[in-house]
Copies of this chain bind each other. A is one copy, B any other.
């Protein structure tokens, strides 16, 4: 019989902190806290395995579960000294979700389970607080109707007509009719009346009765939490965060403690260090006489935890340190124990019930990139973690965030913010304001930069938040939903900007009497919490000495080289600054695009439309100096570093003139009429240019073009050698499918090499000759390709296109559906498809190395800057990855992390891959 249930409480636990996969993060950490003697309300966790079994038997609980829960509940009752469903002294419990990794707010929770008409009198008797009891009952009914009776049953309601809205409207009506200001004005009788009205409405709308029975509440609650794993929000979050569907959620059933039992009760959230900056100060928020959800939901602006961390915005509010100094002292001790136990910054949830502290949760806290960096370096210095751990502590996405632009401080100084709030997500961003998640997604899809402005955000908003450049909310604190999510994604975010008056219906925003409409441009400073009208100038992340130090540690663990894809002298210079150790892709055709390209482009056009070899040769002589100079500059900057120069790749028709003016100009130069140009151009058109006359196919049919490029490379190198430099060109042939293509071009390479060497009177040029592997056949025949190629550079963009038969330009029509329907876990153009394309690459590397053991292997597709793909390359034996200059630090970090993780894996088991 499977053990589905693990109990905890009173200094003991069946589970422990290492069992996150089975008990979820929350369950494992509660067990651990109980085990080390922290004050945890007793309870038990139902495993993720049970969740999976529940789904695989179409929503039936395993047979053995009932007995196990019964027994665990008995243990909990014994520890708490009260009984679940006991009319005289009832135990209430919560049913909470908890997955392997944190999915804040994505799944459901039901509180106050076990409160019924039968148990109410006993609880009133015990608490002497009928208002509290009926408020708890009111909350239970609302939550239960929403989570268990509606959402878990997949009942879809129109907007504003879901059960929660309907019940809220009843409360609102009563408030109005009685002239109350807020929820706290409700009397016990009012709340009792509300619960009666709620039950009637629930039956009217949903057609079933609210179950006024503790066991029914418990089991339906457990089921609803399981079901919320497959709720729309959770699934969409998993897609974004790449969490597998089969992890499942655990359910923790835990004794309720109440932060809303009067002024000696409170609830709060704390971080053992500042999650925004990394500063080693205890940091948090609390609310007196409140339940936990009140803090997180951002409905009331919470108080600061201690005096040390008060800000301008909350200086006037009482800290826990001031209000409950004894309990605060206990909490400080808990902070220290948990941080040393977990050797990482912890995110804590606590409740104070009548001056008693209870810990409800601890977990590794989310943090900004800057905080991650500072904490890693601090903890390293404190001796809390070692270097390897430090390397793993900053995720590539967090590093990316640190490299994000900031508002130019000079410009910012000159302008006053229109609003201020809490600095919840780092960096600066400008964009057009929108007021709904749907609009944010839509506008972003149209290529616009948008700032999502919301009263407060909730899990329904995640897709819009993802799409937005920045997030701005009027309410909520640093632990509100918006802040948590933005921080996790490293997204610029300001929360709790209280002067914002938002009218979603009219799509208008008023700040201090000024009105703005949808589409107006704002700039947000998420590092300082400021909001500005209009677009402010940005600067790139300043040189951070701590980051430099960190990257030096990182580089010590990295085992592969990082190169860059660069094709101008400027790119090459910048890439070197970012740490590039060579160029993995220099596209020779770039010089025909962009500014300054007019002359060479005109010559190339002439070349393409020349009819005879003789004419082409003449044009080639005109074009040659441009090509050589272009290559020479980059070789010079990258002196001593390898530069992989790719021969002409795009199909020739990409270059033919489309405008009448250019056609006429070209016709004149070629002494033909314009119609001839048009005809010739049309002849070059292709049905599927991606698979057309391009790459080496041009080299084969127009060997004079290959020869010119090869000559340019060798002459550029020879000139530099003559000037005492040491260029390392690598000639790369694109779009090959057979080694014979390489053989044919190699003849030109060798002939040209000999002639250049002789003409320049130099001894040699250190060059390599190799190919891109971007056609499936080339990958399949790597053992042949490697006979001639000294290096392979995987062109994973095209390789992915051909292997999937997906034209990257045309996937718009179906890629979304493929991800939504879980046909593909990820867009294979973002992260290498390990199963298909990855397998092809791994086999190809092996087969190539069998023929040529020192075959140099690299990647120059855009995947070279994707952390997961970099990790794949590290484990597949690559010598280097090449990515755009801005992605270099990320690739460096990803490569180092791959090496550290591989070391760890190697210690425990053999490395398996895909």
Residues of A within 8 A of B (CB): 686-693, 697, 700-701, 735, 737-738, 740-741, 744, 774-777, 780-781, 798, 801-807, 809-811, 813-814, 817-818, 821-824, 833, 835-837, 839-840
Q: Can you report 22 A-B residue pairs in the complex whose CB atoms are below 8 A from each other?
A: A686-B807, A686-B809, A687-B809, A688-B688, A688-B690, A688-B807, A689-B810, A690-B805, A691-B804, A691-B807, A691-B810, A692-B810, A693-B810, A700-B814, A737-B804, A738-B824, A741-B823, A776-B802, A777-B804, A780-B803, A780-B839, A802-B805
On whether A821 and B690 interact (CB within 8 A), knowing A780-B840, A813-B701, the answer reads no
CB-CB nearest 5 A-B residue pairs? A688-B807, A691-B807, A692-B810, A693-B813, A777-B836
Contacts A777-B837, A780-B836 aside, 11 further interface pairs with beta carbons under 8 A come to A687-B810, A691-B802, A700-B821, A738-B824, A740-B823, A744-B821, A775-B805, A776-B803, A776-B840, A777-B833, A781-B835
B697/A813 in contact, CB under 8 A: yes
Residues of B within 8 A of A701 (CB): 813-814, 817
A738 to B815, CA, bound (A): 13
Is B690's CB under 8 angstroms from A813's CB? no
Task: Given A701-B817, A817-B701, A836-B737, answer yes or no on A798-B805 (Cβ-Cβ < 8 Å).
Answer: yes
- A805 to chain B: closest residue by CB: B775
Do B802 and A740 touch across chains, with their CB atoms under 8 A apart?
Answer: no
Contacts of A688 in B (CB 8 A): 688-691, 807, 809-810
Decide: A690 and B693 in contact? CB cutoff 8 A. Answer: no
Contact between B691 and A805, CB atoms less than 8 A apart: yes
User: CB distance B803 to A777 under 8 Å?
Assistant: yes
Question: Distance in Å from the Cβ of A554 to the closest Cβ of chain B?
Answer: 34
Q: With A and B bound together, what is the CA distance between A697 and B823 in angstroms?
A: 11
A805 to B735, CA, bound (A): 8
Closest to A740 in B: B823
By the criterion CB–CB under 8 Å, are A823 and B744 in contact? yes
Contacts of A804 in B (CB 8 A): 691, 737, 775, 777
A803 vs B776: C-alpha distance in the bound complex, in angstroms? 5
How far, in whole Å, are A737 and B804 apart by their CA atoms in the complex? 6
Chain B contacts of A823 at CB under 8 A?
700, 738, 740-741, 744
The residue in chain B whose Cβ has the minimal distance to the Cβ of A774 is: B805
Interface centre among A690, A777, A802 (most CB of B within 10 A): A777
How many whole Å from A744's CB to the nearest CB in chain B?
A: 6
Question: Nearest-CB distance from A354 to chain B (Å)?
Answer: 54
Report Cα–Cα, A824/B777, bound state, in Å: 13
Residues of B with C-beta under 8 A to A807 = 686-692
A695, closest chain B residue (CB): B805
- Beta-carbon contact of A806 and B691 below 8 Å: yes
Minimum Cβ distance to chain B for residue A46 (Å): 29
Contacts of A817 in B (CB 8 A): 700-701
Bound Cα distance from A537 to B198, whole angstroms: 89
Q: Which residue of B lies closest to A744 (CB)?
A: B821
Task: Return A260 CB to nearest CB of chain B, in Å.
Answer: 47
How far, in Å, is A804 (CB) from chain B's closest CB? 5
A813 to B691, CA, bound (A): 12
Which residues of B lie under 8 Å from residue A780 when comparing CB positions? 803, 836, 839-840
Asked if residues A690 and B691 are in contact (CB atoms below 8 Å), the reply is yes
Q: Which residues of B contact A824 (CB under 8 A)?
A: 738, 740
* Closest Cβ–Cβ distance, residue A796 to chain B (whole Å): 13
State in angstroms the CA–CA spacing of A818 and B736 once bound together. Answer: 12
Q: CB distance A691 to B776 under 8 Å?
A: no
Shortest CB-to-CB span from A775 to chain B, Å, is 4
Contact A818 B690 (CB under 8 A): no
Give the docked Cα–Cα distance between A777 and B834 (Å).
11
Which chain B residues lie closer than 8 Å to A744 at the CB level? 821, 823
Q: Which chain B residues lie closer than 8 Å to A735 at the CB level?
A: 805
A244 CB, min distance to chain B CBs, angstroms: 14
Q: Looking at the complex, which one of B687, B738, B774, B803 makes contact with A690 (CB distance below 8 Å)?
A: B687
Instruction: Name the residue among A740, A804, A823, A837 with the largest chain B CB count within 10 angstroms.
Output: A823
Please indicate which of the listed interface residues A740, A780, A801, A824 has the most CB atoms of chain B within 10 Å of its own CB: A780
Bound-complex Cα distance A775 to B833 (A): 15
CA of A543 to CA of B557, assembled, Å: 78
A775 proximity list for chain B (CB < 8 A): 803-805
Q: List the B side residues contacting A700 at CB < 8 Å.
A: 814, 817-818, 821, 823
CB pair B689 A805 closer than 8 Å: no
Which residues of B are found within 8 Å of A741, using beta-carbon distances? Answer: 823
A802 to B691 Cα, complex, angstroms: 8
Bound together, the chains give a CA A809 to CA B686 distance in angstroms of 8
Min CB gap A582→B, angstroms: 27
Query: Are A803 and B802 closer than 8 Å at their CB atoms?
Result: yes
CB distance from A500 to the nearest CB of B (A): 37
Q: Which residues of B contact A814 (CB under 8 A)?
A: 693, 697, 700-701
Residue on B with the closest CB to A692? B810
A836: contacting residue among B689, B781, B818, B833, CB under 8 A: B781
Q: For residue A814, which residue of chain B has the nearest CB? A: B697
A822 — nearest CB in chain B belongs to which residue? Answer: B740
Chain B residue contacts of A805, Cβ below 8 A? 690-691, 735, 737, 774-777, 798, 802
Q: How many angstroms between the C-alpha atoms of A836 and B776 in the bound complex?
A: 9
Residues of B within 8 A of A689 (CB): 687-688, 807, 810
What residues of chain B lie closer than 8 Å to A833, measured between beta carbons? Answer: 777
User: How many Å lie between the Cα of A388 and that of B599 in the bound state?
Assistant: 70
* Bound-complex Cα distance A692 to B818 (A): 14
Give the distance in Å from the alpha carbon of A405 to the alpha carbon of B410 in the complex: 87
Which residue in chain B gives the minimum CB-CB distance to A817?
B701
Distance A809 CA – B821 CA, assembled complex (angstroms): 33
A816 to chain B, nearest CB (A): 9
A774: which B residues are within 8 A, CB to CB?
A: 805
Set B686, B740, B777, B835: member contacting A810, Cβ < 8 A: B686
Expressed in whole angstroms, the Cα–Cα distance for A840 and B802 within the complex equals 14
What's the minimum C-beta distance from A808 to chain B, rounded to whole angstroms? 9
Give the chain B neighbours of A738 by CB distance below 8 A.
Answer: 823-824, 836
Which residues of the partner chain B approach A687 to less than 8 Å between Cβ atoms?
A: 689-690, 807, 809-810
Q: What is the minimal beta-carbon distance from A72 to any residue of chain B, in angstroms?
A: 38
Complex Cα–Cα for A836 and B777 (A):
6
A822 to B823: give the CA distance in the assembly, Å: 41
Chain B residue, CB-CB nearest to A824: B738
Residues of B within 8 A of A809 (CB): 686-688
Point out the residues of chain B lying under 8 angstroms from A697, CB to CB.
813-814, 818
Interface centre among A686, A774, A776, A821 (most CB of B within 10 A): A776
When distances are taken between beta carbons in the complex, the residues of chain B under 8 Å from A686 are 807, 809-810
Chain B residues near A835: list those with CB within 8 A.
781
A494 CA to B651 CA, complexed, in Å? 46
- A533→B740 CA distance, assembly (Å): 48
Chain B residues with CB under 8 Å of A811's CB are 693
Q: How many angstroms from the CA of A837 to the CA of B817 in the assembled complex?
A: 30
Which residues of chain B are near A813, meaning CB under 8 Å?
A: 692-693, 697, 701
CA distance A691 to B807 in the complex (A): 5
Question: How far is the CB of A668 from the nearest CB of chain B, in Å?
Answer: 26
CA distance A813 to B824 in the complex (A): 36
Q: In the complex, which residues of chain B have a beta carbon less than 8 angstroms from the beta carbon of A777?
A: 803-805, 833, 836-837
Look across to chain B and name the residue whose beta carbon is closest to the beta carbon of A820: B700
